[in-house]
Structure 1
Amino acid sequence: MMTVAIAGGTGLIGSALRASLEADGHRCLILSRSPGENTVRWDPETGEIDAGALAGVDAVVNLAGRNIGGRWSESVKREIRESRVAGTELLARLIAELEPKPRVFINASAIGYYGIERDGDLAEDAPAGEGFLADVCREWEAAAAPAIASGVRTVLLRNGVVLTPDGGALEKILTPFKAGIGGPIGDGKQWMSWIALDDVVGLIRFCLNHDSISGPVNATAPAPVTNAEFATTLGEVMDKPSAITTPAFAVKFAFGQMAEETVLSSVRVLPAKAEAAGYVFRFPTLQPALEHLLS
């Protein structure tokens, strides 16, 4: 049995990870500003953390970070960056000081690392791209350095578009489709590197248990799709129309830079390291994933 400390344990991924681990008899500690059962007090903004409560944990998983949805004012961009970098720095410094140390530190990152638009397939050895999210991801991953330097195996999980009807991108996309007005965004040619929530949880658990895995790991399904292909497949699964295009200029007008770096960006990211290590995706292709998620 493992004891796993999870920052961001009440979010979409964290809640699913906790349920999966506890179902198999593992113990989870949730890092939180609010008190509660099996919680550890932490506040990245002030640098507070109950270090004693983490003594003896087998693993630390950091999934914390402000939601990137909505327009990005300068203050919002500052919150997005600080919520990721400050929390990671705090945990990495603590991990470096703990005795005994955790066996592994899994720190969330994102495929925003690869930038806004890139040609070709992108594996973990591809260089960072350009843009606000790329800059944030570089700082986010660099903040884990104290844990790495202390000898703790560290995994930088670059999450793609996580699909679940309970939140995130898919929840928002479902609304127009349910109304019969769904379809691609812009020309629909932009690549969408997605992953089902089940596989994010599965891949985190795989990384917890496989000592050979460290460094960047792309958490994306092995079959990316274009935005147009996604819309067509979702329409077929829901038995709804999928031909009404949302103009790119309208999305840019509504959401500005956030739209340019998310729904209008185009990166084809592949899970090279996960597959090489032997991880078997439960949902490698889109249609079965959507059928499962929306059943």
Structure 2
Amino acid sequence: MIGSALSEELRGRGDQVLHLVRRAPRASGDPQLPPGVREARWEPGVRLDPAVLDGVEGVVHLAGAGIGDHRWTAARKRLLMSSRLEGTETISLAVAALPAGSRPRLLSASAVGFYGDQGTDLLTEESGHGQGFLAELCREWENATWPAEHAGASVAHLRTGIVLSPHGGAIARIMPLAKAGLAGPLGRGDQYWSWITLHDHVRAVVFLLDHPSLTGPVNLTGPDPATQTAVVKTLAEKLNRPAIVPAPTVALRLVLGEMAGEILTSQRALPTVLRHAGFGWDHSELGVAMEWLTTQRKRAKKAG
């Protein structure tokens, strides 16, 4: 979801984009390749020839098994961890192996889950590491960029919040429920969701690519985190639907298992680094963000 939108944004401003794929790469001139795109093959956990990145100015690494795609069995949790660590280490080692002065900027995915459940506390990039599986996953994920950092590359960790998009992620799953008037509070509903629209997320990643002096953790969230109840209520209002039917905590735990605990956690993360660096959000208010989201949804339905 994010990678496709980012590639389109970069090509729209005239950049050449290299897609790393886990299949036979398409040759230059293939009609299935968008203009301005070339492909190279990679495999997480297998050495990537640094020459693949020769001449590349920035690398954005977002790959990893989907957090919410399946119930968290022990095997699934191992996959969630290994898919992130192996991929990040592979990319980091390739960046580190390039000659000094030609190492690209590395933006590596992470999440506000790093902070664990912090209730109503305001969280900045300087806030400490939390408890729980996702917090541990994010900490190890960020540590996996060490080879590139140790080699002197410019590295930032993208601590992403809930990305508002009609095409994927948590909100896309809630959208049908909201349309049916069934998207009420999850648990108590007072947990904070640090949200950002896909539009602003992509803009923030491009901003960070263009500002290599910004290193370390960066909260990729909007400037005004809101409670889960407020997020869903605002979405429902834009869809002209009620949002009153709650999903009790016990039901969530029966359906989702351990993952329910992470959905019910509260992270009130503020994008301090982005704000101080001068980044401006197009969708800084929740109402404006949900208006954009529902408009995108309508456009996608018409196009489909």
TM-score (norm 2): 0.90
Structure-1 residue corresponding to 2:242: 241
The answer as to whether partners of 2:119 and 2:192 remain within 8 angstroms in 1 is no
* Cα offset, 1:35, TM superposition: 2.1
For the structure 1 residues 117 and 249, does the alpha-carbon distance in structure 2 shift closer, same or farther, using more than 3 Å as the test?
farther
User: In 1, distance between residues paired with 2:285 and 2:129?
Assistant: 26
Tell me, yes or no, if the aligned pair for 1:116 and 1:260 is still in contact at 8 Å: no
1:72 aligns with 2:72: yes
The 2-side partners of 1:16 and 1:123 are apart by 26
1:260 corresponds to? 261
- 1:284 aligns to what? 284
AA in 2 matched with 1:34: R
Matched, 1:52 2:62: no
Native 8 Å contact 1:40 1:49 kept in 2? no
Contact 1:101 1:152 in 2 (8 A): no
Q: Is 2:21 the partner of 1:20? A: no
Quick check: 27-36 or 189-198, which moved more?
A: 27-36
Q: CA deviation at 1:234?
A: 1.0
1: CA distance, partners of 2:142 / 2:7: 23
Percent identical residues: 40
Q: Check whether the contact 1:40–1:50 (CA below 8 A) recurs between aligned residues.
A: no
Q: Matched residues in 2 for 1:233 and 1:53: separation?
A: 45
Higher strand fraction (1 or 2)? 1
Write the mapping of 1:1-150 to structure 2, written as runs, cut at 5 A.
12-37=1-26, 38-45=38-45, 47-69=46-68, 70-99=70-99, 101-150=102-151
Q: Take 1:140 and 1:182, find their aligned partners in 2: how far apart are those partners?
A: 32
Q: 2:42 is paired with a residue of what secondary structure?
A: strand
CA distance in 1, matches of 2:145, 2:290: 34
TM-superposed deviation, 1:175: 1.3
Pairwise mapping of residues 160-179 of structure 1 onto structure 2 (< 5 A)? Answer: 160-179=161-180
Give the aligned residue type for 1:66. A
8 Å CA contact 1:193, 1:269 repeated in 2: yes
Which string of whole-angstrom CA distances, capped at 9 and with x for unpartnered residues, describes residues 134-163 of structure 1?
A: 111111001101111111110101000111
Does the 8 A contact of 2:57 with 2:103 survive in 1? yes
* 2:153 alignment partner AA: V
**Matched letter for residue 134 of structure 1:** A
- The question of whether the paired residues in 2 share the 8 Å contact of 1:109 and 1:140 is answered with yes
Contact 1:112–1:134 (CA under 8 A) maintained in structure 2: yes
Moved more, 28-37 or 85-94: 28-37
* Whole-angstrom CA distance in 1 between matches of 2:230 and 2:193: 9
**Matching residue of 2:193:** 192
Q: Distance in 2 between matches of 1:231 and 1:208?
A: 32
Q: CA deviation at 1:119?
A: 4.1
Cα distance in 2 for residues equivalent to 1:210 and 1:117: 30
CA RMSD of aligned residues (A): 1.2
For 1:231, the equivalent position in structure 2 comes to 232
CA deviations over 1:207-234 (Å, ceiling 9, x no partner): 0111321110000111011011112111
Separation of aligned partners in 2, 1:175 and 1:235: 10
2:95–2:104 contact (8 Å) kept in structure 1: no
| Runs of 4+ with deviation above 3 angstroms | none
Query: 1:170-221 deviations in whole A, cap 9, x for unaligned?
Result: 1110111112222111111111111100111011100011132111000011
Equivalent position amino acid for 1:14 in 2:
G
Structure 1, unaligned runs of 5 or more:
1-11
- Residue type matched to 2:89 in 1? E
Size of the aligned set, in residue pairs, is 282
SS of equivalent to 2:121: strand
Unpaired runs of 5+ residues, structure 2, are 27-37, 296-304
Q: Residue type of the partner of 1:79?
A: L
Per-residue CA distance 1:256-293 (angstroms, 9 max, x = gap): 111111x2111100000100000001111111111112
Aligned letter for 1:107?
S
SS in structure 1 at match of 2:267: strand
The corresponding residue for 1:8 is: none
Give the distance between the partners of 1:74 and 1:237, measured in 2 at CA. 39
Residue 294 of structure 1 aligns to which amino acid in structure 2? T
Q: CA deviation at 1:32?
A: 1.2
Distance in 1 (CA, whole Å) between partners of 2:150 and 2:135 is 23
